[in-house]
Chain A
Amino acid sequence: MDSELKSRIDERVQVLSTIKEDLITRLNLPYNPDDLHEDVSLLGSGLGLDSLDALEVILGIEHAFGVKVADDNIAILRSINSIADFVLEARADGVPEEAAR
Chain B
Amino acid sequence: MRKSPVHDIQQASGATFDDRVGVTRATRFGDPQEEYRAVRDAVGLTDFSFTVRYRVPEDGLDVLEQYAAGSVANIRFGRVLHTLAADEQGHVETDLYIANDDEQLLVIGESLISDEQNAKILAGMGAEQAGLEDISSSTALFGLDGLNAWMVVKDLFGPDVLGLPYLSIETYELDGTEIRLLRTGKTSEFGYLLLVPAEIAASAWNRLLQVGQPHGLKVIGTDTHDVLRLDGRFFNIYGEGAKVQDPLALGLQWMIDFDGEPFRGQEAIRERRAAGPRQKIIGVQPQEGVLEPGMEIFHQERMIAQVVTAQYSPTLGEWIGLALFDWEFAYSGLEFCDQSKRSIRTVSMPPFMPKSLEVKLDEM
Q: Is the beta-carbon distance between A85 and B333 smaller than 8 angstroms?
A: yes
Q: Is A64 an interface residue (CB 8 A)?
A: no
Stretch at the interface among A45-53, A55-63, A93-101: A45-53
A46→B257 CA distance, assembly (Å): 13
Interface residues of B in 195-211 (CB under 8 A from A): none
Q: Is the beta-carbon distance between B353 and A75 smaller than 8 angstroms?
A: yes
Q: How many residues of B contact A (CB 8 A)?
A: 34
- The interface centre, meaning the residue of B188, B348, B353 with most chain A CB atoms within 10 A of its CB, is B348
Q: Is the beta-carbon distance between B334 and A5 smaller than 8 angstroms?
A: yes
Q: Which residues of A contact B186 (CB under 8 A)?
A: 45
Q: Which residues of B contact A41 (CB under 8 A)?
A: 188, 233-234, 350
Interface residues of B in 11-59 (CB under 8 A from A): none
Q: Which of A1, A47, A75, A79 contacts B349 (CB 8 A)?
A: A79
Please classify the interface of chain B as helix (H, G, I), strand (E, B), loop, or mixed, using the class held by over half of its residues: loop
Q: Is the beta-carbon distance between B254 and A43 smaller than 8 angstroms?
A: no
Q: Is the beta-carbon distance between A38 and B282 smaller than 8 angstroms?
A: yes
A27 to chain B, nearest CB (A): 12
Q: How many residues of A contact B (CB 8 A)?
A: 33
Q: Which residues of B contact A82 (CB under 8 A)?
A: 348, 350
Q: Is the beta-carbon distance between B333 and A46 smaller than 8 angstroms?
A: no
Interface residues of B in 253-306 (CB under 8 A from A): 253-254, 257-259, 273, 276-277, 280, 282-283, 299-300
Q: Which residues of A contact B357 (CB under 8 A)?
A: 43-44, 74-75
Q: Is the beta-carbon distance between A9 and B331 smaller than 8 angstroms?
A: yes
Report how many A-B pairs have Cβ atoms within 8 Å: 86
Interface residues of B in 321-340 (CB under 8 A from A): 328-329, 331-334
B167 to chain A, nearest CB (A): 7
Q: Which of B234, B253, B259, B299 contacts A36 (CB 8 A)?
A: B253
A48→B331 CA distance, assembly (Å): 23
Q: Is the beta-carbon distance between B253 and A39 smaller than 8 angstroms?
A: no
A75→B282 CA distance, assembly (Å): 19
- The interface centre, meaning the residue of B254, B299, B328 with most chain A CB atoms within 10 A of its CB, is B254
Interface residues of B in 307-364 (CB under 8 A from A): 328-329, 331-334, 348-350, 353, 357-358
Q: Which residues of A contact B334 (CB under 8 A)?
A: 5, 8-9
Q: Is the beta-carbon distance between B350 and A78 smaller than 8 angstroms?
A: yes
Q: Is B225 an interface residue (CB 8 A)?
A: no
Q: Is the beta-carbon distance between A34 and B167 smaller than 8 angstroms?
A: no
Q: Is B218 an interface residue (CB 8 A)?
A: no
Q: Is A90 an interface residue (CB 8 A)?
A: no
Q: Which of A36, A45, A84 contacts B82 (CB 8 A)?
A: A45
A1-B328, A38-B282, A47-B254 as given contacts; A8 in contact with B333, CB under 8 Å: yes
B244 to chain A, nearest CB (A): 12
A6: nearest residue on chain B (CB-CB)? B328
B146 to chain A, nearest CB (A): 15
A41→B108 CA distance, assembly (Å): 21
B55 to chain A, nearest CB (A): 24
Q: Is the beta-carbon distance between B253 and A31 smaller than 8 angstroms?
A: yes
Q: Which residues of A contact B283 (CB under 8 A)?
A: 39
Q: Is the beta-carbon distance between B348 and A39 smaller than 8 angstroms?
A: yes
Q: Which residues of A contact B253 (CB under 8 A)?
A: 31, 35-37
B350: nearest residue on chain A (CB-CB)? A78
A38→B251 CA distance, assembly (Å): 8
B60 to chain A, nearest CB (A): 25
A38→B327 CA distance, assembly (Å): 12
Q: Which of A9, A34, A78, A85 contacts B353 (CB 8 A)?
A: A78
List 8 tightest A-B contacts by C-beta distance, closest first. Answer: A37-B251, A81-B348, A35-B253, A39-B349, A75-B353, A44-B166, A12-B331, A81-B332
Some 7 contacts from A to B, beta carbons below 8 A apart, are A5-B299, A9-B329, A36-B253, A41-B234, A45-B167, A45-B186, A78-B353
Using CB atoms and an 8 Å cutoff, list the residues of chain A in contact with chain B.
1-2, 5, 8-9, 12-13, 16, 30-31, 34-41, 43-48, 74-75, 78-79, 81-82, 84-85, 88
- Contacts beyond the supplied A9-B328, A39-B332: 17 A-B pairs with Cβ under 8 Å: A1-B329, A9-B329, A16-B331, A31-B253, A34-B276, A34-B277, A38-B348, A39-B349, A40-B254, A43-B357, A45-B234, A74-B358, A75-B357, A78-B350, A79-B348, A79-B349, A82-B350
